[in-house]
């Protein structure tokens, strides 16, 4: 029986033949150049974009990753000026792509679909940029966006970049509390949202959530000045087949603050002169969970992010001019930013923008859409693959998926079983799978195979992308060369690596650069096999990855202890067949607390309301006491063992009271 590491799949000849990078040696040559001569490597790529102030090649990039030498920084193309929307839209229109479709929009209901060409997208972006300007939005202002997967979402992002405003998308699955916390942190003056959206058969009233969030902000003394609302529900088909009434009557609008998109955008001018931005001016911020519980506003800047999103998109998906690319990620996550919006548009690509779910109206919706648009590259998450694997194969087999060439995976490690299903059933053994490892912080893919260049190993993310230098360190910070397992870190920046955490450079330095001086620390573990393939083994900190959503144990714990019945909480990850990981919570009750169904229901609802539905705990166990060291530190290592009922708990000698462990094993909830 071959071990996982020796299970190798070679790219199909049809993929190799047309690939930009079609051999291992070509990859190695390009990789070497990207490290030895970054100015030339990235400079060549930069030439295809427009720079209002030209690039100074002598000052191409600088960085410091070592705190003992001063503040951490990472700057690319400093001194050059450009505008991203200009590069993504005007430049493409000038290059003859005006009539090319930028997006096929596919609604939640199969009867709803539309398309937008590059020329039209440019016009709409300019219109909305003018609306933002008319509401007083200026360069550097933050605009908070809480949008479903609709074309106005993309338009809003690009309208911000047109005028130099910093966009801050908040995934429209976050609760009003989480949304408010983020609005306050970035002090957004403007919010852009929609009245609501159907997700399968479920209606989400987004504007209502925005109202609650804005009310919470007002209590904290922050008044949002403008809330632009796309009237979306009236134009789509509801699941029951009844078209919705325009929501004007039902969606409460606050005078002077709230405006309907449709009332202001159509009459705005279709031209808007771009704001020329410094290469290192902020482009956007995006929140990601932090291990202390408070979300971190990851900040990306203009030039480096553009180069990196564009280049990874081109090579990792091997995008060619007539291809139709589809990434199923929501624009509220980094995958949506880099690979639904910026990367594809920088390459004048045609993409599918999908509003719905894989399960509506049937469990073959993904494959129906691939067939409908003749998709060539498909990019999704392992959790979706695992959910779809459960259904009968004929739901996949009955569709013509022959246009597919590259299949992508992102967000969490993909288990070999899911990989093989994706490869065999969806890819029909003809497609290359790219297992892309990256993070909100990295801006774009950092580890992956390239579709025509390297053989694939199910479950391995492969090799570093151009410009990326991964290192594996042991606990003492010593580099593990060759085969081995340890902490995954990077010894130098690439253009897309984040620059700071918004308003908190100290936390940035502390979180990413203090554990191992001289390295950017991912927080993930990895191992390198004998062939040099990298395998990401998962988080090494207190983070959980539920269906590709990263969250911190501290975040959930603090929400659980807000309940008057809970004195203390400890949350660990438990493996889950579809979600990858799920939340297993241990709670110690207060004197007032009573462990019953009512409490469990209240806690689940509370977590949903405070964080979002994706954070709902799967298991809550009553823990009269938690395993703690004598200094009071909870030993999560032991709790993780209890969660999976593995009695191999290892050394318990540092525990203040080791009998706690046996009690918890004995009182594990049944039927989990």
Q: Is 437 in the site for ligand PRX (CB under 6 A)?
A: yes
Site string for ligand PRX, 277-306 (x = CB under 6 A): -----------x------------------
By CB under 6 A, is residue 45 in contact with ligand PRX? Answer: no
Asked whether position 524 contacts ligand PRX by CB under 6 A, the answer is yes
C-alpha distances out from residue 94 to 155, 348, 355, Å: 19, 11, 30
Task: Give the one residue of 59, 278, 415, 439 binding ligand PRX; rule: CB under 6 A.
Answer: 439
User: Which residues, numbered 1-40, are part of the site for ligand PRX (CB under 6 A)?
Assistant: none
C-beta of residue 282 within 8 angstroms of C-beta of residue 166: yes
| 263-271, 359-367, 406-414, 418-426 -> range binding ligand PRX (CB under 6 A) | 406-414
Among positions 88, 93, 309, 410, the unique one binding ligand PRX when judged by CB under 6 A: 410
Q: What are phi and psi of 204, to 5 degrees?
A: -105, 120
Interacting stretch for ligand PRX, rule CB under 6 A, among 121-129, 175-183, 435-443, 634-642?
435-443
Is residue 411 part of the contact set for ligand PRX (CB under 6 A)? yes
Residue nearest to ligand PRX (CB): 440
Q: Is 384 in the site for ligand PRX (CB under 6 A)?
A: no
Q: Does 465 bind ligand PRX (CB under 6 A)?
A: no
Binding flag, residue 380, ligand PRX (CB under 6 A) = no
Asked whether 301 and 270 are in contact (CB, 8 A), the reply is no
Choice between 106 and 435, CB closer to ligand PRX? 435
Handedness of CA 319, 287, 185, 503 (dihedral sign): negative
Q: How many residues bind ligand PRX (CB under 6 A)?
A: 21
Answer yes or no whether residue 438 interacts with ligand PRX by CB under 6 A. Answer: yes
Q: Which of the stretches 50-58, 186-194, 235-243, 436-444 binds ligand PRX when contact is defined by CB under 6 A? A: 436-444
> How many Cβ atoms are within 10 Å of 629's Cβ, its own excluded?
11
Residues 6+ positions from 520 with CB-CB distance below 8 Å: 65, 489, 490, 491, 493, 497, 512, 513
Shortest Å distance, C-beta 181 to ligand PRX: 17
Counting contacts by CB under 6 A, is residue 547 touching ligand PRX? no
Q: At its nearest, how many Å lie between ligand PRX and the CB of residue 549? A: 7
Taking the complex as a whole, the smallest distance from the CB of residue 18 to ligand PRX amounts, in Å, to 25
Site residues for ligand PRX, window 330-359 (CB under 6 A)? 334-335
In three-state secondary structure terms, 418 is helix
Lookup: tokens for 591? 């004197």
Taking the least distance from each CB to ligand PRX, the nearer of 580 and 627 is: 580
Block residue for tokens 């703690």: 628
For position 661 contacting ligand PRX by CB under 6 A, the verdict is no
Please count the residues of the chain: 672
412 sits near ligand PRX (criterion: CB under 6 A):
yes
Q: Any contact of residue 545 with ligand PRX (CB under 6 A)?
A: yes
Task: Confirm if 329 and 339 have CB atoms less than 8 A apart.
Answer: yes
Neighbours of 392 (CB within 10 A): 10
Comparing CA positions, the residue from 547, 562, 544, 567 lying closest to residue 622 is: 567
Considering the complex, state which of residue 148 and residue 382 has its C-beta at the smaller distance from ligand PRX.
382
**To the nearest whole angstrom, how small is the minimum distance from the Cβ of residue 319 to ligand PRX?**
18
Nearer to ligand PRX, 523 or 627 (CB): 523
CB of 439 to ligand PRX, least distance (A): 4
Stretch of residues binding ligand PRX (CB under 6 A), selected from 200-208, 231-239, 405-413, 648-656:
405-413
Residue 461 touching ligand PRX (CB under 6 A): yes
Gap between the Cα atoms of 285 and 304, Å rounded: 14
Q: Which two tokens stand for residue 165?
A: 């405003």
Pick the closer one to ligand PRX by CB: 305 or 438. Answer: 438
What distance in Å separates the CA atoms of residue 424 and residue 435, rounded to the nearest whole number? 15
Q: Which one of 162, 199, 365, 539 is in contact with ligand PRX (CB under 6 A)?
A: 539
- Which of residues 128 and 315 has its CB atom nearest to ligand PRX in the complex? 315
Token pair 């989400």 is found at: 204
Instruction: Tell me which H or E stretch contains 466.
Output: none
Which is closer to ligand PRX, CB of 213 or CB of 550? 550
Question: Contact between 501 and ligand PRX (CB under 6 A)?
Answer: no
> Taking contact as CB under 6 A, which single stretch among the options 6-14, 433-441, 474-482, 621-629 is the one that binds ligand PRX?
433-441
Integer Rg of the chain from CA: 25
CA-based nearest residue to 422, from 389, 446, 394: 389
117, containing H or E segment: strand 113-117
- Does 536 interact with ligand PRX (rule: CB under 6 A)? yes
Residue nearer to ligand PRX on the CB measure, 435 or 557: 435
Q: What angle do CA 334, 204, 187 make, to 5 degrees?
A: 50
Residues 6+ apart with CB under 8 A from 631: none
> 447 with 468: CB under 8 angstroms?
yes
Is 147 within 8 Å of 181 (Cβ atoms)?
no
Shortest Cβ 286–ligand PRX spacing (Å): 9
Query: 63, 45, 65, 64: which is closest to 55 by C-alpha?
Result: 45
Rounded least distance, CB 412 to ligand PRX, Å: 5
641, two tokens: 């063992």
Q: 41 vs 520, which CB is nearer to ligand PRX?
A: 520
Q: Which is nearer to ligand PRX, 467 or 565 (CB)?
A: 467
Residue 99: partners with Cβ closer than 8 Å, 6 or more residues away = 117, 118, 119
Beta carbons within 8 Å of 308's beta carbon, 6+ residues apart: 443, 444, 494, 495, 496
Residue from 123, 281, 435, 557 binding ligand PRX (CB under 6 A): 435
581 binds ligand PRX (CB under 6 A): no
Helix/strand/coil for 312: helix
Beta bridge partners of 68: none
Nearest to 9 by CA among 473, 459, 495: 459
Is 310 strand, coil or helix? helix
Phi/psi for 380 (5° steps) reads -145, -170
First to last CA, the chain: 32
CB of 580 to ligand PRX, least distance (A): 9
Task: Return the range that interacts with ligand PRX (CB under 6 A); candidates 121-129, 151-159, 269-277, 516-524.
Answer: 516-524
Q: Of 210-218, 353-361, 430-438, 607-615, which segment contacts ligand PRX by CB under 6 A?
A: 430-438
Footprint of ligand PRX (CB under 6 A): 288, 334-335, 410-413, 435-440, 461, 522-524, 536, 539, 545, 550
């Amino acid at each position: 029986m071959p071990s996982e590491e020796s299970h190798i799949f070679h790219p199909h000849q049809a993929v190799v033949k047309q690939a930009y990078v079609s051999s291992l040696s070509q990859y190695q040559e390009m990789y070497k150049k990207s490290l030895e001569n970054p100015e030339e490597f990235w400079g060549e790529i930069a030439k295809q974009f427009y720079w209002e102030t030209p690039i100074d090649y002598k000052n191409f990039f600088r960085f410091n990753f070592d705190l003992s030498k001063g503040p951490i920084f990472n700057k690319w193309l400093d001194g050059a000026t450009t505008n991203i929307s200009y590069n993504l839209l005007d430049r493409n229109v000038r290059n003859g792509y005006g009539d090319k479709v930028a997006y096929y929009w596919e609604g939640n209901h199969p009867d709803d679909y539309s398309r937008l060409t590059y020329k039209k997208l440019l016009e709409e972006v300019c219109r909305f940029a003018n609306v933002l300007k008319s509401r007083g939005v200026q360069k550097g202002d933050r605009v908070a966006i809480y949008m479903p997967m609709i074309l106005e979402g993309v338009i809003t992002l690009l309208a911000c970049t047109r005028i130099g405003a910093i966009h801050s998308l908040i995934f429209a699955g976050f609760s009003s509390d989480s949304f408010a916390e983020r609005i306050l942190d970035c002090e957004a003056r403007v919010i852009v949202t929609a009245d609501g959206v159907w997700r399968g058969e479920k209606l989400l009233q987004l504007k209502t959530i925005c109202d609650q969030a804005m009310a919470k902000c007002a209590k904290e003394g922050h008044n949002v000045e403008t809330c632009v609302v796309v009237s979306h529900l009236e134009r789509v088909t509801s699941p029951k087949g009844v078209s919705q009434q325009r929501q004007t009557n039902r969606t409460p609008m606050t005078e002077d603050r709230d405006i309907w998109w449709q009332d202001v955008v159509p009459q705005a001018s279709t031209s808007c002169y771009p704001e020329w931005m410094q290469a290192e001016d902020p482009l956007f911020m995006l929140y990601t969970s932090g291990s202390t519980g408070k979300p971190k506003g990851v900040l990306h800047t203009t030039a480096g992010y553009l180069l990196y999103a564009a280049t990874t998109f081109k090579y990792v998906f091997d995008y060619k001019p007539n291809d139709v690319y589809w990434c199923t990620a929501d624009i509220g996550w980094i995958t949506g930013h880099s690979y639904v919006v910026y990367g594809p548009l920088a390459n004048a690509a045609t993409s599918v923008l999908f509003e719905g779910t894989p399960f509506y109206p049937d469990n073959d919706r993904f494959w129906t859409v691939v067939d409908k648009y003749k998709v060539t590259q498909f990019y999704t998450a392992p959790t979706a693959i695992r959910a779809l694997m459960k259904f009968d194969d004929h739901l996949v087999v009955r569709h013509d998926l022959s246009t597919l060439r590259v299949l992508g995976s992102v967000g969490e490690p993909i288990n070999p079983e899911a990989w093989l299903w994706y490869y065999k059933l969806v890819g029909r053994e003809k497609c290359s799978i790219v297992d892309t490892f990256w993070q909100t912080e990295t801006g774009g893919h950092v580890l992956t195979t390239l579709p025509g260049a390297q053989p694939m190993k199910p479950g391995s993310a492969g090799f570093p992308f151009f410009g990326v230098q991964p290192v594996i360190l042991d606990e003492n910070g010593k580099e593990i060369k060759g085969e081995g397992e340890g902490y995954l870190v990077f010894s130098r920046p690439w253009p897309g690596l984040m620059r700071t955490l918004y308003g908190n450079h100290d936390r940035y330095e502390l979180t990413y650069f203090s554990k191992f001086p001289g390295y950017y620390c991912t927080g993930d573990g990895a191992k390198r096999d004998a062939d040099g393939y990298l395998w990401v083994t998962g988080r090494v900190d207190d983070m959980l990855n539920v269906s590709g959503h990263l969250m911190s144990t501290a975040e959930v714990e603090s929400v659980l202890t807000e309940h008057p019945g809970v004195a203390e909480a400890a949350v660990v990850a438990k493996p889950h067949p579809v979600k990858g990981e799920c939340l297993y919570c241990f709670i110690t009750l207060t004197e007032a607390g009573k462990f019953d169904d009512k409490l469990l229901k209240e806690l689940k609802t509370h977590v949903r309301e405070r964080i979002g539905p994706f954070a709902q705990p799967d298991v809550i166990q009553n823990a009269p006491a938690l395993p703690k060291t004598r200094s009071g530190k909870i030993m999560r290592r032991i709790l993780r063992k209890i969660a999976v009922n593995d009695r191999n708990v290892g050394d318990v000698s540092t525990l203040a009271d080791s009998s706690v462990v046996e009690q918890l094993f004995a009182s594990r909830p049944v039927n989990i």
